[in-house]
Amino acid sequence: MQKATALAHPNLAFLKYWGKRDSKLNIPLNNSISMNLGGVYTQTTVEFDNALAEDEVLVVGQGAEAKFDRRVSKHLDRIRSLAQVSTRARVKTQNSFPAGTGFASSASGFAALTLAAAAALNLNLDERQLSILARQGSGSACRSIPDGFVEWIAGETSEDSFARQLATPDHWDIVDVAVAVSQEQKKVSSSEGHELALNSPFWDVRAGLLPSKYERMRHAILERNLVTFGQELETEAMMMHSIMMTSAHHDNTSWYSGIYYWLPDTLELIMAVQTWRADGLEVYFTLDAGPTVHLICLESNKSMVAEAVRRLATQHDRLNWVITENHPAPGARLVDG
Ligand code: PMV
């Protein structure tokens, strides 16, 4: 085979990866836990062709971005070197979700690219090897390889830093009701943010708390204990954002006391969640490196949560909020091109 197509979902971290032990290899400072998001995906076709002098990258619906093309080529080089070939490839990739819906395409994109390229070159890689490869393209992409609920074992070397399944997608019928409150691109990329994590004076506190938090969250998922899970989820999101907001740094023009990914609407939703829960609606939030609020609830409460969000949006005249529903989903897989 010289051509293959793969599909992968973005994943939502419940226990976060923020800070790297090794920036080149994307080895994280801590274990993390996530769920694949069924409502959104990236589909990527890779075709190796001896007639090509250079890799060609087409992102459907988006203009060419030299930086992204270079990242894709560099990733293909890793896979070519495993297969011991130098053939260039044509890559066509398409996201089911437009920019501004609050999902980063790097995890789903690099997971789909890894699987499609490895299959096109007939590399017989197991899930762990695919995950290790995907991680080198974009850290959290390694968690989009296995199915359902996933844990990324931080490891210390490239070979022992990989993601594996914690539970199947049908293990627990929880839903992520994602509320994207802004369509603007964030000012500090997650790659830059990872580098700044250790600037926070609270990093050591976080590092001390993480191992037991990881165990509690893992067990809460395995036991389908929404109360414990939800409490770990929210406190984890707040702890990561505390690190972000206290990562002081300079750039060429100014000094910043930290990175602020929230917008006023983010806080509006955070506060609404506390009220909804006090009123008996069981829902918990988490946040990544952006203003989008992910509301986690049982499938049976999904409509009530989405309705509560729509009411809040109407009250505050927020016509730009985009709501997406995501069920736990399988990992990266080959599909017909
Ligand atoms: O994989 P990256 O470099 O996009 O980093 C992901 C960072 C967070 O989304 C904030 C946390 C995580 O674990 O996904």
Q: Is there a single domain that holds both residue 142 and residue 194?
A: no
Residue 101, pLDDT score: 74
Say whether pLDDT at 100 is over 80: no
Q: Residues lining ligand 1, CB < 6 A?
A: 13, 16-18, 32, 104, 106, 138-140, 190-191, 194, 288-289
Q: Is there a single domain that holds both residue 44 and residue 30?
A: yes
Q: Which of 133-142, 179-188, 214-223 is least confident?
A: 179-188
Interstrand relation of 149-153 and 56-59 (parallel, antiparallel or unpaired): unpaired
Q: Is there a single domain that holds both residue 12 and residue 158?
A: yes
Q: Is there a single domain that holds both residue 245 and residue 279?
A: yes
Q: Which of 19-23, 103-107, 245-249, 253-257 is least confident?
A: 103-107
Q: Is there a single domain that holds both residue 260 and residue 208?
A: yes
For the chain, the distance separating the N- and C-terminal CA atoms, rounded to the nearest angstrom, is: 13
pTM of the model: 0.97
Say whether pLDDT at 18 is over 80: yes
The verdict on residue 333 lying in a domain is no
Q: How far, in Å, from the CA of 111 to the mean position of ligand 1?
A: 14
Residue range 151-162: mean pLDDT, rounded: 98
Q: Is there a single domain that holds both residue 30 and residue 98?
A: yes
Q: Is there a single domain that holds both residue 83 and residue 216?
A: no
Residue range 296-306: mean pLDDT, rounded: 98
Would you place residue 204 in the very low, low, confident or very high pLDDT band (cuts 50, 70, 90)? very high
Residue nearest to atom 6 of ligand 1 (CA): 140
Structure tokens given for 36: 């694949």
Residue 1, pLDDT score: 63
Q: How far, in Å, from the CA of 18 to the mean position of ligand 1?
A: 6
Sheet containing 32-36: order of strands? 11-15, 32-36, 149-153, 162-167
Residue range 53-71: mean pLDDT, rounded: 88
Q: Which of 169, 186, 209 marks a domain boundary?
A: 169
Where residue 292 falls (left for φ over 0; alpha for ψ -120 to 50; beta otherwise) is: beta
149 φ/ψ angles, rounded to the nearest 5 degrees:
-95, 130
Three-state SS annotation for the chain: CCEEEEEECCEEEEECCCCEEECCCCEECCCEEEEEECCCCEEEEEEECCCCCCCEEEECCCCCCHHHHHHHHHHHHHHHHHHCCCCCEEEEEEECCCCCCCCCHHHHHHHHHHHHHHHHCCCCCCHHHHHHHHHHHCHHHHHHCCCCEEEEECCCCHHHCEEEEEECHHHCCEEEEEEECCCCCCCCCHHHHHHHHHHCCCHHHHHHHHHHHHHHHHHHHHCCCHHHHHHHHHHHHHHHHHHHHCCCEECCCCEECCCCCCCHHHHHHHHHHHHHHHCCCCCEEEECCCCCEEEEEEHHHHHHHHHHHHHHHHHCCCCCCEEEEECECCCCEEECC
> How high is the mean pLDDT of the chain?
96
Residue 143, pLDDT score: 98
Residue 82, pLDDT score: 97
Tens-digit pLDDT profile for residues 174-203: 999 999 999 888 889 999 999 999 999 999
Would you place residue 32 in the very low, low, confident or very high pLDDT band (cuts 50, 70, 90)? very high
Testing ligand 1's pocket by substitution, the residue of 12, 15, 18 carrying the most ligand atoms inside 8 A of its CB is 18
Q: Which domain holds residue 210?
A: 174-326
Structure tokens given for 131: 């995950």
Q: Which of 141, 169, 197 marks a domain boundary?
A: 169
Q: Is there a single domain that holds both residue 201 and residue 165?
A: no
Residue nearest to atom 14 of ligand 1 (CA): 13
Say whether pLDDT at 86 is over 90: yes
Where residue 148 falls (left for φ over 0; alpha for ψ -120 to 50; beta otherwise) is: left
The verdict on residue 337 lying in a domain is no
Would you place residue 163 in the very low, low, confident or very high pLDDT band (cuts 50, 70, 90)? very high
Residue range 326-332: mean pLDDT, rounded: 98
Q: Is there a single domain that holds both residue 27 and residue 133?
A: yes
Residue nearest to atom 4 of ligand 1 (CA): 190
- Indicate which atom in ligand 1 lies nearest the CA of residue 140: 1
Structure tokens given for 303: 């409509």
d(CA 175, CA 230): 12
Residue range 49-53: mean pLDDT, rounded: 97
Testing ligand 1's pocket by substitution, the residue of 143, 288, 293 carrying the most ligand atoms inside 8 A of its CB is 288
Q: How many domains does the chain have?
A: 2
Q: Is there a single domain that holds both residue 81 and residue 179?
A: no
Q: Is there a single domain that holds both residue 214 and residue 153?
A: no
The verdict on residue 243 lying in a domain is yes
Q: Which of 143, 169, 195 marks a domain boundary?
A: 169
The verdict on residue 334 lying in a domain is no
The CATH number for 226's domain is: 3.30.70.890
d(CA 151, CA 261): 25
Say whether pLDDT at 138 is over 90: yes
Q: Is there a single domain that holds both residue 154 and residue 188?
A: no
